[in-house]
């Protein structure tokens, strides 16, 4: 696993970081994006989606759990599970439209929630650093998850942990 910590000084810099991260992603990858409200999760996803060929506006999903965008070569999906409490009790089928082969998925996830999305490729954690500064931690989980199939298929909640 590799860990990289950067500080961004404004939304453009966070978008640029998102663009950079996109360059390592492959079809089937899932990126977990954690952080408090307003920490810049959607901003980072917007930058990444741009780099992956999405031309449409990238906005927070509000009326559904996610958005699907056509990135040309791959579909880019964006899930916001921030407001969803206890996803472990949701239908796994709910996620099937968003995760898996042919897609690169970004999942916004509340910082404080226990539980993990199994099989994530990158884990990005954003936090407020005063004013427009944001601290961004990027963990590449590929080696750690190396023995698991690529692409998340299940959400593992706290109750599933041992
Ligand atoms: P989240 O999805 O985490 O709730 P958003 O990306 O929707 O956050 O919103 C972040 C807000 O913070 C935006 O209004 C953005 O302009 C502002 N902002 C200020 N500084 C930064 C920064 N360094 N990185 C990202 N967003 C920033
Ligand atoms: Mg958001």
- For residue range 61-115, list pLDDT tens digits in order: 887 889 999 999 999 999 988 766 555 555 666 778 898 899 999 999 866 655 5
42: in domain: yes
What does the angle CA 22 – CA 9 – CA 19 come to, to the nearest 5 degrees? 10
Domain membership of residue 30 (yes or no) is yes
**C-alpha span between 31 and 76 (Å, rounded):** 11
Residue 160 lies in a domain: no
pTM over 0.95: no
Closest CA to ligand 1's atom 16: 11
The pair of three-digit structure tokens given for residue 80, joined into one six-digit string: 């916001």
Q: Determine contact, residues 122/138, Cβ cutoff 8 Å.
A: yes
CATH number at residue 125: 3.40.50.300
Domain range enclosing 82: 2-87+101-146
Q: How many domains does the chain have?
A: 1
Mutational pocket test of ligand 1: of 17, 35, 43, 108, the residue with most ligand atoms within 8 Å of the beta carbon: 43
Which class for 36: exposed (0-12), middle (13-18), buried (19 or more C-beta within 10 A)?
Answer: middle
What residues contact 20, with CB distance under 8 A and at least 6 apart? Answer: 51
**Which atom from ligand 1 is nearest to the alpha carbon of 45?**
6
Ligand 1 atom showing the smallest separation from residue 46 Cα:
6
> Residue 21: its pLDDT value, please?
97
């Amino acid at each position: 696993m590799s860990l990289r910590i950067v500080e961004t000084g404004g939304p453009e810099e966070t978008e640029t970081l998102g663009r950079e991260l996109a360059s390592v992603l492959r079809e089937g990858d899932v990126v977990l994006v954690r952080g408090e409200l307003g920490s810049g999760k959607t901003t980072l996803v917007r930058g990444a989606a741009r780099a992956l060929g999405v031309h449409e506006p990238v906005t927070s999903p509000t009326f559904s759990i996610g958005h699907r965008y056509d990135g040309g070569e791959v579909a880019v999906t964006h899930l916001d599970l921030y407001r969803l409490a206890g996803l472990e009790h949701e239908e796994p089928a709910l996620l099937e439209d968003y995760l898996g082969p042919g897609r690169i998925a970004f999942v916004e996830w509340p910082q404080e929630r226990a539980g993990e999305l199994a099989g994530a490729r990158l884990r990005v954690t954003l936090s407020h650093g005063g004013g427009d500064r944001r601290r961004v931690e990027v963990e590449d989980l590929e080696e750690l998850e190396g023995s698991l199939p690529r692409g998340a298929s299940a959400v593992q909640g706290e109750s599933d942990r041992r």
